[in-house]
Amino acid sequence: MRRLLIASCIALLPGLALAQSDNSAPPLPGVDGGLGGPGGWGRHGHHDGDPAEFLTKFYAANTTHDGHLTLAQAKAAGFQPVADHFTDIDTAKHGYVTFYDIQAWHLDDIAKHLEAQATALRAQD
């Protein structure tokens, strides 16, 4: 219970920071504001919505309530992108992923797409 309360508080902190930030800068090309959509994860069918909502769904899917989401739990919860890329996300090969593993994988995926876009732009010179 305490983990869920702490995780919920942590999940709200970025929202508070965003509420005070200046959103006048245009979004990065192809990445929709740098995070793939309004709450992130908009591309390729990834998470599309509020990060706090995703965290809540993650912990609901984690039926053992240990912060470790297994492939079976991801499939049962309908986390298709996580299930589809589970072996890529589980870099330590533990047989489970954490919320932070998923975030790290997602950021790596964004970086790969940005690098591909940069390469394409360099080729236009």
Q: Could you state, in order of their start, the residue ranges of all structural domains in the chain?
A: 2-124
CATH of domain 2-124: 1.10.238
Q: Which helix (H) or strand (E) holds 16?
A: helix 2-20
pLDDT at res. 47: 52
Is the distance from CB of 39 to CB of 50 less than 8 angstroms? yes
Q: What percent of the chain is predicted at pLDDT more than 90? A: 49
pTM of the model: 0.59
pLDDT, tens digit, 9 for 90 and up, residues 83-113: 999 999 999 999 999 999 999 999 999 999 9
